[in-house]
Structure 1
Amino acid sequence: MEANETGRRIMSELMGADYVEKKDETRNDFNDVIHDYSIEVCFGRVWARDGIDRKQRSIVNIAMLTALNRPAQLAHHVEGALTNGCTVAEIKEVLLQAAVYCGLPAAGEAFRVAENVLREHGHLD
C-alpha cells in the first residue's frame, strides 16, 4: 500500500474520518506540501512502523507535545491516545512526568488541554 493511502487510513483510525475530511477541506495550493508530508511521512511511514505500538507512540507524542507547548496538536493526540487504548490514569501520569522534565507551565497547559478533551469524550465529570 502506498504511503499516502496508508497514512490516510492510519490518520482516520487514530483521529476519525471527520478529522481527515476537515484536513482535506483546508488543503490548498500553498499548504498541500505540508499536508502531504504529514500524511505520507508522519502517518504513512512512521506511525505505520512495527517498532513500538500505537499506544506507546501516543504516550511519546503527548510527552513531546507537552514539552513543545503545542496545545492544538496535543488535543488531537490525547483523542488519539484514547483511541489507542491509553487510560485517563496513564495520560495523567505522562503529564505529571512531563511536569518534572518540561516544567510546570508546559505541563499545566497540557493538563488543561487534556482535561478539556477527556471531558468532551465523557471520561471526566
Structure 2
Amino acid sequence: MTADRPAAREADWNGDWSALTREIVFDRIWSRTGLTTRERRLVTIALLTASGADSAAAFHLRAGIRDGIPADDLYELAVHTAVYAGWATGGRGIALLRSAVEETAAEEDTARKPATSEEPAR
C-alpha cells in the first residue's frame, strides 16, 4: 500500500459526500413544494444552531443574508431558538449571525470595489 492511498480514498469520499449532499439535500429536499426557500432556510438555521452544527449554521446564515433575509429577522430567529433550545444556544446563534453579517458585508465591499490598475508613480 502506498502512502498516498489513504489521501486518494479520502478525496473520493469528499467528492462522493458532496455529490450526495447536492443530490439528496439540495436537488430533492430543497426543491420540494410546500415551504418557501425562506421558510426552509429559517428552519434549517434554527435546527443547525440548536444541534450545535455551527459551521453548517454559519453557511446557511450567510446564504440567508445573500438571499435577502434581513439580519433583524435572523436575530429574532436566534432569540426564538434560545427559548426552545437553550439560552446559551441562542447566544451562540447570535454570535454566528454577527460573524455572518460581517463576512457578507466584507464580500459586498470587495465586490463593489472597482478593479484598479496600478500605474507607476510619476
- Give the TM interval when normalised to the shorter protein: 0.7 to 0.9
Percent identity, aligned pairs only, is 26
Partner of 2:105: 122
Q: How does 1:34-113 map to 2 (within 5 A)?
A: 34-113=17-96
Q: Which has the higher contact order (CA 8 A, sep 6+)?
A: 1
- Partners of 2:66 and 2:104 within 8 A in 1: no
Q: Which amino acid aligns with 2:76?
A: E
Partner-residue secondary structure (3-state), 1:66: helix
CA drift of 1:70 comes to: 1.0
CA–CA separation in structure 2 for the residues paired with 1:38 and 1:49: 15
Partner-residue secondary structure (3-state), 1:31: helix
Give TM-score scaled by structure 1 length. 0.71
RMSD: 1.7
CA–CA separation in structure 2 for the residues paired with 1:30 and 1:76: 21
| Structure 2: gaps (5+ residues) | 1-9, 107-122
| Structure 1: gaps (5+ residues) | 1-26
Larger radius of gyration: 2
